[in-house]
Amino acid sequence: DAKTTQPTSMDCAEGRAANLPCNHSTISGNEYVYWYRQIHSQGPQYIIHGLKNNETNEMASLIITEDRKSSTLILPHATLRDTAVYYCIVRVHSGGYQKVTFGIGTKLQVIP
């Protein structure tokens, strides 16, 4: 699986959009980009995933660059409850074991 690089931490003002970047410059053509988040002391929570088109759901939007080497998770109106660690991972869609790394992620602090 391709390695991902994320900033260690970010701040965002409450009510503003939070834009969390992820670099995955070695991503291969059949690897999807996934985002999860982990609110303090809880289990990780799936947010969104995509292959090459931009995706949106009730939680967030995912923007993937045309060359697919980077992506941005957008929380359109951040709230205090969005304070969490956000993980960007990439993997293929196939069964069986794949070594998927939930790295350190980005610690997002939403500020009142």
CA-to-CA distance for 84 and 94, rounded, in angstroms?
29
For other proteins, give the closer residue by CB, 51 or 111. Answer: 51
- Nearest CA-CA partner of 23 in 106, 100, 99: 106
- Does position 93 interact with other proteins (CB under 8 A)? The reply is yes
Cβ 77 to other proteins, closest distance in Å?
24
For other proteins, give the closer residue by CB, 9 or 13. Answer: 9
Cβ(45)–Cβ(37) below 8 Å? yes
Cβ(100)–Cβ(1) below 8 Å? yes
For other proteins, give the closer residue by CB, 5 or 101. Answer: 101
Binder to other proteins among 40, 41, 58, 67 (CB under 8 A)?
41
